[in-house]
Amino acid sequence: MSAIKKEELIAKDIQYQIEQGFIKYEQKLTERTTAKNYSVSRGTARMALKRLEKQGLISRKPAAGYFVNYRKHEPLLNLINSFSNKLDYLNISQHDTKYEILRHKFIDTDKELSEKLKVLLGTKILLITLRSVEKESNGYVVYRIFLPTDKNFSTNKEEIIFNKIKEKLQTAQDADVTLSFCFADKLIAKALHVKVQDPLLSVETTFTTTSNQTCFFIEQYSDAKNTVSIMPSQIISEKLGTFNE
């Protein structure tokens, strides 16, 4: 087997480990360790690492070694940050999208809700009903946001609630998305300006942390008869390929 062939195989194997999360973001890689792990010369290890550097998966720091650049869920994190930044535009009329909190309350999870959110029975949840309005199309999207929290959390200002949503979003490392159709109940119908029992597009997204704990759960509802701008959960599901039939 030629040195070039070894270099390619080593690079592909390390690439796989990085993309699967076995080798973590900012983890250090060295020629010496790579050579030892694959029983090759340091020259071959160096060529493999340089190949990964050209791909942008790792970067070299002088006198320190190579460090992993790739984050397994970077597309998801970028989208979360994008949605989070949009929340800064709350009720500012010059922006294209306006977000407004319709209502919020604390609830205790019963058996059905705890199973749905994948949290312990009796967990304190801040339930927020949020609506976004697209100015140009006048398209509405309603969100029901479930935040595991405690009753000591103050909800006397909308800004505090939005900051809490953003804080929870930043802890998310993975997401599971389910797309379905349902019919509008009285509350959702009023918020979306549709009739009760009108068909709706429903998107449920469960955001989880690195320890697989639910940090954020969101239900989205939009009028199935009208197309509005792409919603965050739809983008996430397309990126991750996690639509459930």
SS3 call for 87: helix
Asked if 46 contacts 58 with a C-beta cutoff of 8 angstroms, the reply is no
Q: What is the pLDDT of residue 47?
A: 92
Closest CA to 221 of 189, 176, 186, 177: 189
Asked if 65 contacts 30 with a C-beta cutoff of 8 angstroms, the reply is yes
Across the 245 residues of the chain, what is the mean pLDDT of every consecutive 10-residue run?
67 80 83 89 91 86 84 50 48 55 89 87 89 69 85 72 77 74 87 87 81 83 59 43 35
pTM: 0.55
Q: What is the pLDDT of residue 136?
A: 55
Cα R_g (the chain), whole angstroms: 23
Domains of the chain: 3-68 (1.10.10.10), 74-240 (3.40.1410.10)
CA 242, CA 166: separation in Å to the nearest integer? Answer: 23
Asked if 232 contacts 238 with a C-beta cutoff of 8 angstroms, the reply is no
Report residue 103 CA to chain centroid gap. 24
Q: What is the pLDDT of residue 95?
A: 47
Q: What is the pLDDT of residue 2?
A: 43
